[in-house]
Each structure stands twice: as C-alpha cells, then as structure tokens.
C-alpha cells in the first residue's frame, strides 16, 4: 500500500519539476501551437488587392456553409470578392477552404483566442480577414 502511494507521489512530484509540467500559466503564458494548427482564417493580400478571385470554390466545399462570397469585377476586368465573410460560429475549422483554393488566397493562422461578446463579433468580413 505504502509502496503504491510513494510511487504515485513520485510521479506527481516529477511533473512539478521545471520542464516536466504539462500545463501552462495561461493567459500569462501562451500555448505553442503546431505549425499545422488551424486557427483564425486570413485572406492573403497581393499588392493593391487581395489574392482571392472570387471563384466560389471555398463556399462550395465548406461543409458548414459558413462562407459568403459575392463576386464583382474591377476596372481592369478582374474578378474580386466584393463580399467575403466567414461566420466563425458555424465554422468547424476543417481547413477545406484552404485546401480548395486554387490561388492560395486563404490560410489559417495560429490565432486561437477567439472568444467574444456578441454574435456579430464572430462574423469576419473581408477587412477583418485581411488584417487577421
Ligand atoms: S475551415 Fe472548414 S468549416 Fe471553416 S470556413 Fe473553412 S471550409 Fe468552412
Ligand atoms: S477558393 Fe480562394 S480564390 Fe476562390 S473564392 Fe475562396 S479564397 Fe477566393
């Protein structure tokens, strides 16, 4: 009995040692995420506009149907997304939108602190997605 108790205690003490701790002092300490982590989306800018050409592939492939794209044409006759919105409350962070994009115009960042106060705060429009 004492032997098992000592064994359990030694395991607990081992995890208290620096370097062996499995928890972090959040929010003072931030979690290190994997390079493959799928966090908040980002629309990638290219020179004077976004890389997105409003091809509708990402809203088509999105299983949660949370991407809204409205295409328009600029003076040069190039297609661009007049509206590009993601409803994060419905997004399941599957990354299909990133995989489907033929222009590599959308990526997922390591941002995971996405808590907010109102439903509207979870609607990410083009301007917010370009800045994220
Ligand atoms: S990560 Fe998945 S659910 Fe979220 S917007 Fe992209 S395709 Fe849709
Ligand atoms: S798949 Fe890429 S280019 Fe097409 S609408 Fe989505 S972000 Fe834009």
Closest residue by CA, ligand 1 atom 3: 91
Residue 127 belongs to a domain: yes
**Rounded Cα distance, 34 and 32, in Å:** 7
Residue 100 belongs to a domain: yes
**Rounded Cα distance, 64 and 93, in Å:** 9
Give percent helix, percent strand, percent coil of the chain, each to the nearest 5.
25, 20, 50
Print the domain residue range for 108: 33-131
**Rounded Cα distance, 68 and 60, in Å:** 10
Closest residue by CA, ligand 2 atom 8: 52
The closest of 54, 60, 58, 112 to 83, measured between CA atoms, is 54
Report the domain count for the chain. 1
Residue 16 belongs to a domain: no
**Each residue's pLDDT tens digit in the chain (132 positions)?**
789 999 999 988 888 887 777 788 899 999 889 999 999 999 999 988 899 999 999 999 999 999 999 999 999 999 999 999 999 999 999 999 999 999 999 999 999 999 999 999 999 999 999 998
Residue 104 belongs to a domain: yes
Residue 45 belongs to a domain: yes
Residue 22 belongs to a domain: no
Dist. CA 59 → ligand 1 center (Å): 8
Q: Residue 84, Cβ neighbours under 10 Å: how many?
A: 27
Residue 101 Cβ < 6 Å to ligand 1 = no
Residue 54 belongs to a domain: yes
Dist. CA 14 → ligand 1 center (Å): 41
Ligand with smallest separation from the Cα of 58: 2
Ligand with smallest separation from the Cα of 130: 2
The closest of 60, 39, 43, 34 to 104, measured between CA atoms, is 43
Residue 46 belongs to a domain: yes
Dist. CA 114 → ligand 1 center (Å): 15
Q: Residue 38 sits in a domain of what CATH number?
A: 3.30.70.3270
């Amino acid at each position: 009995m004492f032997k098992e108790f000592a064994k359990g205690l030694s395991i607990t003490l081992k995890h208290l040692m620096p370097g062996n701790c499995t928890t972090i002092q959040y929010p003072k300490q931030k979690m290190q995420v994997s390079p493959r982590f799928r966090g908040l989306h980002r629309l990638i800018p290219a020179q004077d506009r976004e890389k997105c050409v409003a091809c509708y592939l990402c809203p088509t492939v999105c299983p949660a149907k949370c991407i809204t794209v409205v295409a328009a044409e600029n003076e040069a006759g190039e297609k661009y997304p007049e509206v590009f919105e993601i409803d994060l409350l419905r997004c399941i962070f599957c990354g299909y939108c990133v995989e489907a994009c033929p222009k590599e115009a959308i990526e997922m960042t390591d941002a995971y602190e996405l808590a907010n106060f109102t439903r509207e705060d979870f609607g990410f429009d083009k301007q917010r997605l370009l800045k994220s």
